[in-house]
Structure 1
């Protein structure tokens, strides 16, 4: 039966790499860290040895895992799931509310400029979302 509670990570043991690249985590001497022999990532212990955190990452949030006895379970970041709703709400405000107001108050010569600004501002959250989730 699989353990439901996270277990303390022992620095003297070898674990599978949580990045799913079939590597092994090897303790780094004189530190509270592990290195993967396959993906060359470095992981440090946090939360009194219950959380393994990826040290160098290109993600906007730190990737962390808990050891559940025989497998790693990723700790979901608080903002990681809410990027899409935030981006969609920004696009909604810009396109549905701001653009018609801008077009109503703009004179005929600046309508194209206002429309271009609205399109650029609507694309910006999508670009930020793409930068966040690309790997």
Structure 2
């Protein structure tokens, strides 16, 4: 299913087509595609180049890991997300490596990395449904 945003001003096609589905193909995601998706996140800008994001990834082929991540979701999301071919838990390192001080930009940086991950996924025709 395709949904295009009704924008006020022109935006890139990847952003115009982005939406958060609750139904997914049963087809596994190719490892090379997944690698590129996380490579895009890795190259996101971050405060002091700290790259505080961490991604815990579980493909549906790994029943145990996929089930564990699915178990972290609230029931309303678990109902549909359990069918996703890949689940990703986004977490952050909350202190700077160079001095141990709190990194107040960590959530912003995670958001930027997740946005890049999402756009790279969209370039492959893969849809992402972020949940808080």
Please report the TM-score for the alignment, with normalisation by the length of structure 2: 0.23
Higher relative contact order (CA 8 A, sep 6+): 2
Greater radius of gyration (CA): 1
The structure carrying a bigger strand percent of its residues is: 1
